[in-house]
A and B are shown apart, each in its own frame.
Chain A
Amino acid sequence: MRRSLTALAPQLITLAALVALVSVFFPGFVEIRLIDGRMVGPIIDILKRGAPVALLAIGMTLVIATRGIDLSVGTVMAICGAVAAWSIDKGLGLGGAVALAIAAGLVAGLWNGTLVAIIGIQPIVATLILMTAGRGIAQLITEGRILTFTHDGFSWFGSGTFLTVPVPAVIWVVTGITVALLMRRTALGLLVESIGINRRASALAGINATVLLIAVYMASGLCAALAGIITAADIRGADANNAGLWLELDAILAVVIGGNSLLGGRFSVAASLLGAMIIQTIDTGILLAGFPSEYNLVIKAALVLVILVLQSPRMAAEWTTWRAARREPKPAGRVQEDAQ
C-alpha cells in the first residue's frame, strides 16, 4: 500500500496542486453539500464529469501497455450510445439496451483486436479505420438525428445517484478497481506487460499473445461502451456527431499524465485514473473560474505542458540529483549522478 502510494505521488501532488490553484480563483471549490439525498459540489461534478475519460483511460492503459493504441474509443462511445438509444426507442427495455450497447463495444474491440493481432496492421492505423468509419455507423443507427428517449431507468446511469454518489462516478471507480485487481491479483497484468515489452519473446515463452491482444482491445471496447452508455443517459439522447468526439485524445493524455509509457510495458491503472481526474479538474476549474471561452484551450494546454515537463524523466533526474546533493553536499555525489 505504502509503495503504491509512493508510485502515485507525482499524480497525487499534481492533483492537490491543481485543486489549490482552482480554489484561488473559485473559493468554494472543495465544498460538498447534500441536497435532496445527493452530494453536490464542484469536486462531485469532477468525479461525475470525468467518468467517460476515466473509463476510456482504463481500457487505453491496457492497450498502451501492449505497445498499442486505440484511437477508436471516442467513436465506439458514439456507436454504443446510438445502439442503446435505438434499443430503448424500439422498446427493448433497460436490460436489452445495456446488453446490446455492451455487445456493440465488444464487437468493436474484437474488430480492432483482429486487425492488430491476427492481420498484423499497426494499432494506430487499425483503430483509425473504426475511428473514421464508426461515426458513419453511429449516424446510420440514429438516422442522422439526435435520437432522444425518455426512460428513467436508463437515465439513472447518467444522472442517478447511488448512496448519494453520482452513478457515473460509481461506475468508473468500480470498473477501475475491478480491472486493477484482475491485473494485479492474477498474472494477467504481467502477461500484458510482457507482450508490450516483447511480443515475440513472450509468444516463445508460451504466452498466447494473439488471444491476449484481442482480449485487451475488447476490454477497451467494453470501457468505451460503458462511457457511451453514461454519455447517452446523461443527455437522454444519442448524439452521433458529438458523443465522445476527440475523447480518445483525452484518454491517451490521461494515460500519459499517469506516467505510463507509450512504448508499452509497465502500467498503472490507478495512475491513469488520476490522470483523467487531473484533466477533468482542469476542465471544470476553467469553467468555474469564469475566463472568456477563447482562453479555455490555451489554459488547458499550458497546464498540461507544465505537468508533463515536471513529470518528465529529465526533471525526475534533476530532482534526484538535487536531493542527493542536499543529503550529502559533496561535489563528488553530484558528478556521479550526472555521469549516469
Chain B
Amino acid sequence: MTLKTLLSAAAALAITAGVGQAQTVGFSQIGSESGWRAAETTLTKQQAEERGIDLRFSDAQQRQENQIAAIRSFVAQGVDAILLAPVVATGWDSVLEEAKEAEIPVVLLDRQVDSPDDLYLTAVGSDLVHEGKVAGEWLANTVKGEDCRVVELQGTTGSSPAIDRKTGFEQGIEGHDNIEIVRSQTGDFTRAQGKEVMESFLQAENGGQDICALYAHNDDMAVGAIQAIKEAGLQPGEDILVVSIDAVPDIFKAMAAGEANATVELTPNMAGPAFDALEAYWKDGTVPPKFIQTDSKLYTPADDPQGEYESRKDLGY
C-alpha cells in the first residue's frame, strides 16, 4: 500500500515536472523514398520546433526491424510519446504492447497497422477515396452541364492509392452523365510514363481534339502529361483541363503558368494534427478518435499558386 502510494506520488511528481519542461517525442520515420516523405519529415521537425517539443528522429531506411529497434530505444529513453510511420501493416503487436506497458502513447502517421486499436492512441492519415472524390466534384462543377470526355492516368496498377483515387473520382462524377472516362491507363505514378501514356491518349483521341479533361492520380504524372499536351500543339489548362492529386511544388509552378487547373492536397503535415491530439492528451487526458482524417484541400489558380510553390519548394519534395 505504502509502496503504491509512493509510486503514484512519484509518478504524479514526474508528470508535473514533465509539464513544465519540454516534452520529448520519438519519431520513427520509414525513410525518404519519395519527395512527399522527405517533406513530411521536414514538416514534422518544423512543427516540433514551433511547439517547443524535443523531437528524437530515427530514419528506418524502409526496414521494419529498424523501426522496431527505434521504438524500443524510445521506450528505454522514456519519451512522452512516439510517432510512427509504419513501413508495413503487420508485425507491430509486441513492440506496441511494450510501449503501452510503459504508458507511452503511440500515434500512427499516414499509414495504418493491422494491430488491435487499443495498442495506439490514434492514427493520422488522409482518405484516398475522398481525395479522388474532391477531384471528381471539382470537374463536375467546372464543366457544368457540358459534355466532357475524360482521360485518366492511373497510379501503379493494383496499388491502394490507384484503386481508391479511381473509385473516389468515379463517385465524384456520379450522376453527371455528361462526363465520361473514355480512356484509363496506368502511368505508374512517374513523370516519364505519364508523358508516354498521354502521348498515346492524344494519338488515340483525334490528336487530343476529343479530350476535354485529364485526371491524373498524382501530380508527377500530370506534369509529364502537360508536356505531352504542349508538344501536341495544344494548350494544357485551356484545351484540356488538368486535375490531379498531391499538391507537390511543381504542379503549382504549372498552375502559375496556367497549365494546370486543380490539385487536391495530400498534406505532408501529418504531425500537426498528431501533436494537437497529443497536447490535449497530455493536458487533461482527452482521448482522440482512433482516426484523424487530414483535410483534402482543393487548390486552383485562385489560391496563389506562385506563393504556394515558394512556400513548398524547400520542404524537400
Contacts and interface: CB of A to CB of B under 8 A. Distances in A.
A200 B227 CA distance: 52
A210 interface: no
Contact of A239 (B191, B201, B204): B191
A146 B317 CA distance: 8
B192 A235 contact: yes
A241 B157 CA distance: 18
Contacts of A287: 185, 196-197, 200-201, 204
A111 interface: no
Nearest to B39: A145
B191 A146 contact: yes
A145 B35 contact: yes
Contacts of B184: 292-293
Interface in B143-164: 154, 157-158
Interface in A227-283: 231, 234-237, 239, 241-243
A159 interface: yes
A293 B158 CA distance: 10
Contacts of B197: 287
Nearest to B316: A145
Contacts of A234: 192, 195, 227
Contact of B231 (A26, A159, A241): A159
Interface string B177-207: 0000001111010111101110111011001
A235 B195 CA distance: 8
Contacts of A49: 196, 199
Interface in B203-235: 203-204, 207, 220, 223-224, 227, 231-233
A166 to B, nearest CB: 10
Central interface residue in B35, B192, B223, by most chain A CB within 10 Å = B192
Contacts, number: 78
A331 interface: no
A144 B192 contact: no
B175 to A, nearest CB: 24
A144 B35 contact: yes
A41 B203 contact: yes
A239 B220 CA distance: 10
B34 interface: yes
B192 A239 contact: yes
Contacts of A144: 32, 35, 38, 316
A36 interface: yes
Contacts of A26: 204
B227 A235 contact: yes
A231 B192 contact: yes
A190 B217 CA distance: 51
A311 interface: no
Contacts of A28: 203
Contacts of A45: 199-200, 203
B157 A293 contact: yes
A288 B201 CA distance: 7
| B interface secondary structure, majority | helix
The DSSP consensus for interface residues of chain A is mixed
B33 A241 contact: yes
A317 B104 CA distance: 73
Contacts of B199: 45, 49
A321 interface: no
A40 interface: yes
Nearest to B183: A290
A320 to B, nearest CB: 39
Interface in B19-40: 32-35, 38
A294 B157 CA distance: 6
B192 A243 contact: yes
A249 to B, nearest CB: 15
B195 A146 contact: no
Given A45-B200, A288-B200, A145 B191 contact: no
Contacts of B183: 290
A239 B195 CA distance: 13
A284 interface: yes
B127 interface: no
B244 to A, nearest CB: 15
A148 interface: yes
B250 interface: yes
B203 A42 contact: yes
Given A45-B200, A144-B35, A242 B192 contact: yes
Nearest to A245: B190
Interface in B292-317: 316-317
A202 interface: no
A296 B191 contact: no
Nearest to B152: A293
Contacts of A243: 192
Contacts of B223: 235
Interface of A: 26, 28, 35-36, 40-42, 45, 49, 144-146, 148, 159, 231, 234-237, 239, 241-243, 284, 287-288, 290, 292-294, 296
9 contacts: A36-B233, A40-B232, A144-B32, A148-B250, A235-B192, A242-B192, A287-B185, A287-B197, A288-B203
Closest 8 CB pairs of A and B: A287-B200, A293-B186, A235-B191, A242-B190, A293-B185, A293-B157, A145-B35, A144-B32
Given A144-B316, A146-B35, A294-B158, 20 more contacts: A35-B207, A36-B233, A40-B207, A45-B200, A45-B203, A49-B196, A144-B35, A145-B35, A145-B38, A159-B231, A235-B227, A236-B227, A239-B190, A242-B193, A287-B185, A287-B196, A287-B201, A288-B203, A293-B154, A293-B185
